[in-house]
Amino acid sequence: MFRSALTMANKSIFNLPLIKAKTITSGLKYSLATGNWGQANAAGTRAGVSQVLNRLTYASTLSHLRRLNSPIGREGKLAKPRQLHNSQWGMICPAETPEGQACGLVKNLALMVYITVGSAAYPILEEWGTENFEEISPSVIPQATKIFVNGMWVGVHRDPDMLVKTLRRLRRRVDVNTEVGVVRDIRLKELRIYTDYGRCSRPLFIVDNQRLLIKKKDIYPLQQRESAEEDGWHHLVAKGFIEYIDTEEEETTMISMTINDLVQARLRPDEAYSKTYTHCEIHPSLILGVCASIIPFPDHNQSPRNTYQSGMGKQAMGIYVTNYQFRMEDSVIMNQSSIDRGFFRSLFFRSYRDEEKKMGTLVKEDFGRPDRASTMGMRHGSYEKLDDDGLAPPVSMKERLFDQSEAYRVHVCETCGLIAIANLKKNSFECRGCKNKTDIVQVHIPYACKLLFQELMSMAITPRILTKGLKSAKGRK
């Protein structure tokens, strides 16, 4: 009885004649389809809120997802809003922007820039000596440092240096969210903390005593890892080697462009630009966006040329992965090994005809190897390979297949003679046939021999190479 009464009540609430589900559905469909957000043909409608994601090529997709739009009318001829600004360094690509009336108003994020999504504000300061207004008298305020959280004055602190160091240490250990921005303004006696969403931030190497905290021993495991599940980028952030700095906090840091700047600050501090570096750029090229970063040698180009290429790179057609399955229609698919074995390769012979001539008793022409004494119009060159009759001898099998062919390196299993799988970067070798991983030798064979082996294997004939007296592949330098 109770359940039926509740159901009746729900029906009476949600079946109001004033609200039609179709109105909301059709309104959302219209807005998503056209990008015009708001009522159709009404004042205050915003255009371009939803857009069709560009899928022409992978770079154009990434570029579209990282695009910024300044809410300024395109009709104005003001130059100032369109120009690059110092505060955009490292956050906004200096090259990727449209030509024409949107130039400088539509921008793109730099490669490693991250937009914060926001985190809780108040749990940060509860334990670290921040005094609320209820606890202090007004006379204390001029001597203390004001604490602001997301622009709101929440209290004061008497030891701001300790608080800043503590917050940054907690952030580098991920005890405090890595998005949190800590900005200390010594002149104004203010400490501004930002935890809100929508701030641009970018990663930097942390520097302590003019030395990077990250070492080569931390990089080697990254190079050796085989899967994305192993320790990677987030591990480096959690270890305190890298931290995200937003635009406000960037004003309070000293960033070196390269590791060489840190070396000079340690060895020759008097000649160095600075000896108080706090961070180091991961790489100078990270100031560029997706499309500008794939331009070869952009630092050697005239700057508008980089802007033009950033626009043209988005017009290329491509696929985002090499195993992408798409309809082939009237095209032909072929594999690499068939081309290696001579697919589509043509061969033709040119014939030459000549005859021995005799004119009277003095002039006589006959076939033979030319020499200077008896040959007129002889060209400079070597005629040693000709036989006495002046014709080239048939080429020997060894000369044709080995001496004239390029060398091709393979790794062979000493146990069964099959060609093994070799990973030279990791110095690992394996024969899939007999599971041998140790007795593998390196052999150079002619490229023609490699093609012959492929031809045999395509006919289900297994070629084996028997090796004698060759050192193990792992032992060779």
Residues marked as catalytic: 330
Query: CB neighbours (10 Å) of residue 20?
Result: 10
d(CA 90, CA 111): 9
Residue 381: left if φ>0, alpha if ψ -120 to 50, beta else—which one? left
Side chain identity at 248, as an amino acid letter? E
Q: Which residues pair with 190 in a beta bridge?
A: 146, 185
C-alpha torsion 169→174→175→179, nearest 10: 90
CA count, 13 A, side-chain hemisphere, 256: 26
Structure tokens at 250: 């960037």
CA dist., res. 168 & res. 181, Å (int): 9
What tokens does 339 get? Answer: 């081309």
Report the first-to-last Cα separation within the chain, whole angstroms: 87
- Rounded to whole angstroms, the Cα distance separating 51 from 61 reads 12
The span from the CA of 61 to the CA of 53, in Å, is 7
Q: Are 411 and 440 in contact (CB under 8 A)?
A: yes
The enclosing H or E element of 447 equals helix 447-458
Which neighbouring-strand residues pair with 440? 413
Where do the DSSP E strands lie in 150-238?
Answer: 152-157, 181-185, 190-194, 197-208, 211-212
H/E stretch holding 106: strand 106-108
Q: How many residues does the chain have?
A: 477
Tell me how far the alpha carbon of residue 421 is from its chain's centroid: 28
If we measure between CA atoms, which residue out of 64, 37, 66 comes closest to residue 53? 64
Query: Is the Cβ–Cβ distance between 201 and 208 less than 8 Å?
Result: no
Strand partners for 146 = 156, 190
Contact 156, 145 (CB under 8 A): yes
